[in-house]
Chains A and B, each alone.
Chain A
Amino acid sequence: MTRLSDSLRGLADRAPLDEVSVSTPAATRRINRNRRLHTAANATAGLGAAAVIALAAIHPGMDTLSSADSAANPESATSGEKAMAPGFDAAGSSQLAWGLCGSRPFDYEVPMASDTFTLTLGEMNGEMEPGSTATAQLTLLGATGADLAYNYTAQGTALLVLWDGLVVGTGQDASVVGTQGLSDGASSWDTPIDLVNCWDGTPLPGGAYELVAYQDFYPEATTDPVEPTLVPTDPTITPTEPSPPLGAPDEPTPIIDAPAPAPGEPGVTEGGSATGGGTSHSGATDAVAPAPGFVGPPAEAPALRAVSNHVKLTVSGDVVDNPFGEYIDQPAPAVVYPDDYLDPATARDEFTARAVSGTWDMAAGTQRVTKTGDSLGANNENSWLEGYYGCSADGTTAPDFPVTSAEWPLLKVDAKLPGSVGVSYGWVVDGNPEVKLTITNTSGYTLPGFWGQPNSMLYLVKGGKVVATSYLSPTDPYGLNTANSTDGMFAPDGSLSDTFLWRDVNGCWTGDSQSTVGPGTYTVLSEQDIYLDNGSVSPGGPIYYEDGAKRSIENPALGKDTAVTSSGASAETSIGIAPAPNPYPGDFEWLSFQVWTSLGTVTVR
């Protein structure tokens, strides 16, 4: 018999992911942009853009290309980086994060912009009532088949209501895109959009707005017809009969019936039959069930974005000054720390006074504090390695515990661990071992960054080297039943406690292989991060570093000529967030620690 949970974890462990990676610089750029003008962006718009609606039928007669043809496309994947997902924008604005509520999408070059497809938005005549539903008239024209290098799939059209360039309302096309007119490469349809703001859904106040629509097109999977073959092809695996071509009219569907639609999902019907407006074709869902062994589009194919013309949209009512100020102009709350707050300068002195050198024996119950960052340090790209302890930082050698650490009883850590655990594919198996963690602030100072739960990570150590790490899974993962602190301050002698499930044991990676956590006894260390700052903020505002150059988040042009390397960034990362150093005035200081506590040993069965 098979345990599904083990099988799923084995699948995750052995997933074919060698050619994909996550780009933190790209994610950081996107996050910076999202945070730039709003503090509570409505991610719904971005998520809405995630929908992919197949539109290849725009050019039913179009020839498909082989992978070799695709490889010859001049708009190939960004060189110098690992392969990115199709359509991924290495510059940082991927297809899914553009046009977010509160952003200014046209302040920058529109990512993926292309005129291959032309999206036209009809004029909006007359004044609209606040909170009413406007109807946008859209026309999509596609390039001729001869002009296209790929088949494309298209997203549902997204609508943006702009106020002075700021996205204040969003809508998502709720119907199948122009299916009736696709055969000639053109389609027209109406899409409603509610005239409410995208933060909390209140009616848009009176005033002059702009409406713009966009649609994203993705190169479709290679569609050269092939005969279904056995998947997988590994000869050691018992062959599985292939599914019949999905969608064959007389074949029984290989997928199970879909359950009843969930609340809030209009149009989703049992068995995939269609409801509502548009063409109804029962059973069509069966035709597009995920195909076993489906192969994604060629990585080098570019994604395209069609952006419509901007049209005026007038909402009746009194025009107010700064109508969205309450959403975008939230002043940063003043930082007021308690008198006994552990400020960076004091912490630096304490660390120096309590510093010890030499090997830590990691006896149960002992604790060491390591300094992992300091605003007064060198802060070059390798600074973070000085106090680093964990899996191999360079993929070759696991580091020893830092030579210099401090015997500084900042936190008392109590933990109830299982005496032994079974591990399979990096997962703790045979039940869900419970770990109860309690931390007590024994520093005599108020510490920041504690918001209701211990924030600890476990390390398995053998011979002084970390061999595996483990994130504990909260039994209340979203903190629904946890009394969270409002300011994150952890007062002296205060305690935080929570119960976790010990679910994963992640062997460290060396080169291209991940170490297996074999049977044996391991020392378990708990690690808790502490980040201190003095609350001062540079008048220039928060900055980030891009390719070694300083950028202001509020004003990307600021400091462009100042080359400063980021602190805390990995060697392969050229972007990071850091406090503003000189020439910015201000006295921002920061310091980061890791508190390591030995919890004794655990036996891996």
Chain B
Amino acid sequence: MAAKLEGMERLVRERERALLGYAYVVCGDPYLAQDLVQDALVKTFSRPREGLPQVKVEAYVRRAITTIYVDKYRRQQRWSRVQHLFRPVIVQESTTPFSDLSADVATALADLPPRVRACIVLRFFDDLTVPDIATQLGLAPGSVKRYLSDGLRALELRLGSLDDAEHGLREEIAVDHQERKHS
């Protein structure tokens, strides 16, 4: 156990910013990102994953971030059907300062429903294949394709034509085989 939690501390020490950044891309809110990472760590390390290599730990935590986020959405959706009957939905100005074109992407992503957003992130950030995304999110591959297609269409309306949109709808990821032998 000692090695395992030292592994968590090391992961956080070295990858905290990357994990938070990833969670932020997934959810769009820094505080929720913090909770997602925290809970993803607990989820990952609470299970006795003996022998989980360090190299896989981050993959597990990232997976947990997306599944926790989507799981939360599934439940929230129940309320969402009637929420508007009880209170007005208010759009509030963000106090989050952005200093670059990331804001355009953040704004465009914010318009996507959570599952669509998760699919977009897993495809274009994590380079997961459509079947892998389906497995991770518990969706049918056809649903993932539909989400990706719809998500890309919505993003292109905001961001203009995307270079890698077509690539994103392919089944497999591209791999650059350029390499050099080291030993």
Within 8 A of A (CB), among B74-119: 74-107, 109-117
Cβ contacts under 8 Å, A34 to chain B = 42, 46
5-46 of chain A: CB within 8 A of chain B? 5, 7-17, 19-24, 26-28, 30-31, 34-35, 39-41, 43, 46
A355: CB under 8 A from chain B? no
How far apart sit A54 and B55, CA to CA, in the bound complex (Å)? 38
Contact partner of B8 among A14, A24, A238, A274, CB < 8 A?
A24
Assuming A228-B91, A431-B176, A509-B17, is B107 touching A288 (CB within 8 A)? no
A15 touching B21 in the complex, CB below 8 Å, given contacts A2-B163, A451-B52? yes
Residues of A close to B162: CB separation below 8 A: 1-4
Cβ-defined contact, A488 with B51, below 8 A: yes
Question: In the assembled complex, which residues on chain A have CB atoms less than 8 Å from the CB atom of B173?
Answer: 432
> Which B residue sits closest to A29, measured CB to CB?
B42
- Contact B55 A10, beta carbon cutoff 8 Å: no
How far is the CB of B81 from the nearest CB of chain A, in Å?
4
Cα A60 to Cα B86 in complex, Å, equals 7
Contacts between the two chains (Cβ within 8 Å), count: 509
B31-A284 in contact (CB<8A): no
**Among B5, B25, B125, which residue has the most Cβ atoms of chain A within 10 A?**
B5
- CA of A263 to CA of B139, assembled, Å: 7
Counting CB contacts under 8 A, is A268 at the interface? yes
**Residues of A in contact with B, size category:** 35 or more
Contact among A247, A265, A293 with B93 in the assembled complex (CB-CB below 8 Å) = A293
Could you give, for residues 30-48 of chain B, a 1 whenever the CB lies within 8 Å of some chain A CB and a 0 otherwise?
1111110111011101111
Query: In the complex, which residues of chain A have a beta carbon less than 8 angstroms from the beta carbon of B152?
Result: 4
Is A31 a contact of B45 with CB atoms below 8 Å?
yes
Q: A245-B90, A434-B177, A514-B17 are in contact. Are A7 and B45 (CB under 8 A)?
A: no
A41 to B49, CA, bound (A): 11
Q: Are B76 and A473 in contact (CB under 8 A)?
A: no
- CB interface residues, A 306-341, toward B, < 8 Å: none
Interface residues on B, range: 35 or more
A495 to chain B, nearest CB (A): 13
Cβ-based interface call for A385 (8 A): no
Shortest distance from the beta carbon of A446 to any chain B beta carbon, whole Å: 14
Q: Is there a chain A Cβ closer than 8 Å to B170's Cβ?
A: no
Q: Does A259 contact B (CB under 8 A)?
A: yes
Partner of A54, one of B45, B83, B154, B177: B83
Inside 8 A of A43's CB, which chain B residues have their CB? 43, 46-47
Please give the distance in Å from B144's CB to the nearest CB on chain A.
9
Task: Output the least CB separation between A443 and chain B (Å).
Answer: 17
A148 within 8 A of B: no
A491 interfacial by beta-carbon distance below 8 Å: no
Which of A50, A260, A264 contacts B146 (CB under 8 A)? A260
Contact, CB under 8 Å: A22 / B38: yes
- Residue pair B79, A474 in contact (C-beta under 8 Å): no
Of the candidates A15, A258, A274, A504, which one forms a contact with B24 in the assembled complex, judged by CB atoms under 8 Å apart? A15
Q: Is A287's CB under 8 angstroms from B83's CB?
A: yes
Contacts of B175 in A (CB 8 A): 431-432, 434, 475, 501
Nearest B residue to A244, CB-CB: B91
Q: How far is the CB of A275 from chain B (nearest CB, A)?
A: 9
- What residue in chain B is nearest A57 (Cβ atoms)? B86
Q: How far is the CA of A288 from the CA of B81 in the complex (A)?
A: 8
Set of chain B residues within 8 Å of A514, measured between Cβ atoms: 17
Q: What are the 7 closest A-B residue pairs judged by CB atoms, nearest first? A: A51-B75, A57-B86, A431-B176, A293-B94, A12-B21, A451-B51, A53-B79
Chain B residues within CB distance 8 Å of chain A: 1-6, 8-9, 12-22, 24-25, 28-35, 37-39, 41-43, 45-48, 50-56, 58-60, 63, 67-68, 71-72, 74-107, 109-117, 120-121, 124-125, 127, 132, 137-140, 143, 146-147, 150-155, 158-165, 168, 173-183
19 contacts between A and B (CB under 8 A): A8-B125, A13-B21, A13-B102, A60-B86, A85-B31, A85-B32, A228-B91, A229-B93, A256-B154, A260-B146, A274-B81, A292-B94, A365-B182, A416-B179, A418-B176, A434-B179, A474-B56, A485-B51, A501-B175
